[in-house]
Amino acid sequence: MTRVRRSVLFMPGDSLKKITKAATQLAVDCVVMDLEDGVALDRKEEARQTVLEAGKTLDFGSREKWIRINPTSTSWWQDDLAETIEARPNAYVIPKVESAQDLQQICDWLTQAEKERGWEPSSIELVGIIETAKGVLCLPQIVAATDRLSAMMFGSEDLAGDMGAIRTPEGWEVFYARSAVVTAAAAYRIDAIDTIFADFNDPEGLQKEATVARQMGYSGKIAIHPRQVPILNDAFSPTEAEIEHATKLIAAHDANQAAGTGAFAYEGKMVDMPMIRSAQKILAQAQATGQRNQDSSSE
């Protein structure tokens, strides 16, 4: 079944109250318990214990349970893993990834941990964040680093700082990197999660930016406040018009296939397999989001 990652909400790892709200009350697709930027330097240890408690005791329901550790360039990442592994997250989020080795050393650590605990190999996935200039340049090696990698995130704010760029509402200063991340993810058939929208008091601006991200090929976007979640869920879900068009297009394709026709004309346009695959993806997404029943899906 298609996995839905429209909204990815970060919560500070040292706040059990906020994590509990996200994990049990919000209609968010992925909850990220943060040990990096969301936690002060003198609260790292406390945050690890809070994340461990939350991961072991809370029922996340259909929400994915992710943990963001500190970058491999710091001295904290191994303790982050060692002290939270028993929470058994669906994925660890790795910030500031700049090389394949950044992911491979974590993959090696997890492989040993899974083996020691008798867990299924590679059951814990990795999500990498690209937020430095070096990370952008090394994307081809990063996305090929490990089969554990199931998604890539784009971090525009750190990237702009790394580049010395000036952030603008239009975002042209980071557009190359934004495109590079979603393209690299698509090449390896993994999800791409777009960057934050910093002003959580601007729902119209978030809606507009999320719409552009979906048009670019992103499957979801990072949320930094609960009120952003429903906007993102809506923006990255197929519209009723898209679902209706995809349903009719696939029905026309099936009819033409039965008649021995390959490419065919539909509503004044020539249709071939890339368009059919796009329609099938829309229907799979609609099924995953509950907008369409499985019984009505096209084979």
Per residue in 126-157, pLDDT tens?
999 999 999 999 999 999 999 999 999 999 99
Range of the domain at 66: 7-235
Residues 168 and 251 in one domain: no
**Mean pLDDT of the chain, nearest integer:** 93
CATH number of the domain that residue 220 is part of: 3.20.20.60
The answer on pLDDT for 23 being more than 60 is yes
The answer on pLDDT for 295 being more than 70 is no
Per the annotation, the verdict on 272 as an active-site residue is: yes
Among 220, 235, 250, give the residue marking a domain's end: 235
Share of the chain above pLDDT 70, in %: 97
The answer on pLDDT for 298 being more than 70 is no
Residues 111 and 74 in one domain: yes
Residues 11 and 100 in one domain: yes
Question: pLDDT tens, 170-204?
Answer: 999 999 999 999 999 999 999 999 999 999 999 99
The answer on pLDDT for 25 being more than 50 is yes
Q: Exposure pattern of 158-171 as b/e (b: 16+ CB <10 Å)? A: bbbebeeeeeeeee
**Does 1 map to a domain?**
no
Q: Which of 147, 199, 254, 272 is catalytic?
A: 272
**Does 2 map to a domain?**
no
**Does 14 map to a domain?**
yes
**Does 63 map to a domain?**
yes
The model carries a pTM of 0.90
Find the mean pLDDT for residues 39-55.
Answer: 96
Q: Determine how many CB atoms are found less than 10 A away from the CB of residue 150.
A: 20
Choose the weakest-confidence range: 172-181, 189-198, 215-224, 284-293: 284-293
Residues 257 and 113 in one domain: no
Residues 259 and 219 in one domain: no
Residues 210 and 92 in one domain: yes
Whole-number pLDDT of residue 268:
80
Beta carbons of 232 and 259 less than 8 angstroms apart:
no
Residues 217 and 258 in one domain: no
Whole-number pLDDT of residue 272:
78
Residues 168 and 287 in one domain: no
Find the mean pLDDT for residues 1-23.
Answer: 93
Number of domains in the chain: 2
Among 203, 235, 267, give the residue marking a domain's end: 235
Bridge partners of 30? 8, 64
**Does 160 map to a domain?**
yes
Residues 200 and 288 in one domain: no
Q: Pairing relation of β-strands 264-266 and 269-271?
A: antiparallel
Residues 166 and 271 in one domain: no
280/274 Cα distance (integer angstroms): 10
Among 217, 235, 253, give the residue marking a domain's end: 235
